[in-house]
Amino acid sequence: MHHFTYKHGVLHAENVPIPDLAAKVGTPFYCYSTATLKRHYDVFRAAFGKLDTAIHFAVKSNPNMAVLRLLANWGSGFDIVSGGELRLVLQAGARPENIVFSGVGKSVEELELAVRSNVGQINIESESEMHTLSTLATKLGRTVRVALRVNPHVDAQTHAKITTGTKENKFGIDWTLTPDLYRKAKALPGLDPRAIAVHIGSQITDLKPFEDAFLRVRDLALMLRNEGFNIDHLDLGGGLGVPYDFSAIPPPLPADYGAMVMRVFGNLGCKLSFEPGRLLVGNAGILVSKVVVLKTGIEKTFAIIDAGMNDLMRPAMYDARHEMIPVCEPAANAASADYEIVGPVCESSDKFASDVTLPTLAEGDLVALLTAGAYGAAMSSVYNTRPLIPEVLVDGDQWAVVRRRPSFEEMMALEQLPPWLA
């Protein structure tokens, strides 16, 4: 469920008309709904009954400062994957003890920043990282709570570029090797190995891969406990999918996911933490764009919009589909046509949809790409020297620009000529 609906013939974000935002902000722009984000957060949090759980929002999915501040205000923790994200969430109001530092290639500088910042947990992804962290923690006189991220050899049945739990993936430690590494971690100074972490991928639409991975984590926890380890915390990652194509079979509901989690871990007595990203913010955001040119070819009619692949990378990178709707509500009997929805970037991959049927479009019409709140602005770039686009947050009838469009002068301020060319 989301709060982008037609009212009085035009699309609204909660109580704010999208055409008003377009007139004041300019297209293209992202728009986020506070009410949608809050509802998704509450529904996910309630899915686990009386289990001892914590939510750590996956910052990489949407690192907007205002979005992070909302989540921090509601009590969310954060899952980070870089030193930059650590600085960002601290500035957004995160409590250090509610931060989990994941990531397969943390630098020495990032690890030192995390230790000095007293983050709640660092997820270790290799034996080398384990020794580096032990050395740093000892030097700084700290003891760091760590989890070893397990690679359980489970195929998440999602896109190859967002699966992370198979032998071919760079993430995690082979689950057959983790008992020995826990023994080594226990013997190292500065480390407190009391948790196990797992994350098998993103946009997962079937509960079976989750359950297969979680059963291996449970078995590993029981085995380590039998050896005397005080395993009291399991970090179960994120990855539950959201509906992008509304004609397809919908992903499992958070309640179904929660019931499976309770069935696997209900009697284990561990605190469970989760790292949802897309699930919370995906449907809470839309990308608003304008039809710039209608171009009729031999076989296709192209609707060229002013948003490009640099603004929303997912279709080009993952062959992802985002439902598209007109901002002005079409009449029930409105004529329709088939379009190739493309952007202005100088790449054939700059395409949002093929052979999509929409109410007949005209140049200047506004359209909205739905479920764009996750990995949209987060993955955007300035390719073709196109400026990053604004992000707008709506709360009821209030709205504000929470990331503005930079000027050309600001974009160029980072560049300089060498002395021999100046």
pLDDT in tens, 60-112: 999 999 999 999 999 999 999 999 999 999 999 999 999 999 999 999 999 99
Angle at 361 between CA 357 and CA 363, to 5 degrees: 145
In this predicted structure, what is the pLDDT of residue 169? 58
Place of tokens 């076989």: 299
CATH number of this structure's domain 34-280:
3.20.20.10
Phi, psi at 328, each rounded to 5°? -90, 125
Can you name the CATH fold of 4-31+282-412? Lyase, Ornithine Decarboxylase; Chain A, domain 1 (2.40.37)
Q: The whole model's pTM is what?
A: 0.94
Nearest of 142, 264, 269, 276 to residue 209 by alpha carbon: 264
CB 269 within 8 A of CB 221: no
d(C-alpha 284, C-alpha 274), whole Å: 19
In this predicted structure, what is the pLDDT of residue 115? 98
In this predicted structure, what is the pLDDT of residue 244? 85
d(C-alpha 108, C-alpha 116), whole Å: 12
Sites in the chain below the pLDDT cut of 70:
1, 153, 155-172, 246-248
In this predicted structure, what is the pLDDT of residue 159? 45
Phi, psi at 191, each rounded to 5°? -115, 140
d(C-alpha 165, C-alpha 155), whole Å: 6
CB 217 within 8 A of CB 234: yes
- Residue-wise pLDDT for 197-208, tens only, equals 999 888 888 999
In this predicted structure, what is the pLDDT of residue 164? 47
d(C-alpha 249, C-alpha 272), whole Å: 29
Active site residues: 346
Residue 318: strand, helix, or coil:
helix
Q: Where are the domains of the chain?
A: 4-31+282-412, 34-280
